[in-house]
Structure formats: C-alpha cells, structure tokens
Structure 1
C-alpha cells in the first residue's frame, strides 16, 4: 500500500469517528460528551491529513475551525457538573 493510498483511505475512519463523536456529544453524561469531543478532535485531524493530500483547502479550513470549537466544548464540558 502506498502512502497516497493510505491517506486516501483515511476518509473512512474520519467519517466513522465523526459519526461516533456526534452520537457521544449528544449524551447527558459529561464523561461520554468528553469522549465525543475527543473523537471529534481525532476526526478533525484525520480530515485535515486527508484534505492536504486532496488539496481540499476549504475542508481543511473548516476542520481547523471545528477543532477550535471542539477544544472549547471540551473545556466547557469539564466545567459543568455531571447530572447523573
């Protein structure tokens, strides 16, 4: 497998990580929400790597913005008490 093929494959784990993250962020439990934000951050990194290879500059810019929002979400989630 070439490096280009490997990077092209990254769109699939990026997509799966994004879906799992969206599911977890919707949880009422702070611990699960935190895992969701961390999954989103992983997906942001994977999408950026894939986007560089594909020259998808708008996608990269979007992922950087979403990464910053996910960092904010992680911080705000840690500041709130768990209702359970």
Structure 2
C-alpha cells in the first residue's frame, strides 16, 4: 500500500507529538497552551495509524481525545482572549 506517510512514521510522530504536548502542558507556563495543537496533531497521526492497522479501539479513543484537544484549544486560544 503506497501512502503519503508510512505507518511507522504515523506511529512515532503521534507518540512524539503527544509527549511534547504533555510536556508543554505540565510546565504550567505561558507556552503551555501550545501543547493543545501538538495533541491535536498527535490525535490525527494516531487516527491514521489506527485506520491503517485496523485498530478500531484506538481510532475510537483518539476521536474522543480529539474532542478534548479541540476543547483545550478553545479554552486557551479563544476564551482566554476575552
């Protein structure tokens, strides 16, 4: 199967972005809000990985995490500007 991104790349990119997002949030600093976009990108990588490997439980979980990432983005970037 030819694809733009390999399965291994999706897996490791998702893992690294997720860890970086968690690190940024744990700093409790003004840069912490940038953890949410990293989480969102990680979610997309994991969804792609789950679809490619037929890991539907992982896809379901990542859809839920995508909703929490979107909520985090709204809280930190939209509501905090008001």
The bucket for the TM-score relative to the shorter chain is 0.7 to 0.9
Which 4+ runs in 1 deviate beyond 6 A?
none
Deviation at 1:43, TM superposition (A): 0.2
Q: Aligned residues, how many?
A: 79
Cα distance in structure 2, aligned partners of 1:70 and 1:9: 21
Cα distance in structure 2, aligned partners of 1:23 and 1:68: 20
Bigger relative contact order (CA 8 A; separation at least 6):
1
Unaligned segments of structure 1, at least 5 residues:
none
Deviation at 1:27, TM superposition (A): 2.7
Return the TM-score normalized by structure 2: 0.82
Deviates more, 1:21-30 or 1:35-44: 21-30
Return the TM-score normalized by structure 1: 0.81
Deviation at 1:7, TM superposition (A): 2.1
Unaligned segments of structure 2, at least 5 residues:
none
Partner of 1:65: 64
Aligned pairs for 1:4-83 within 5 A: 6-30=6-30, 32-78=31-77, 79-80=79-80
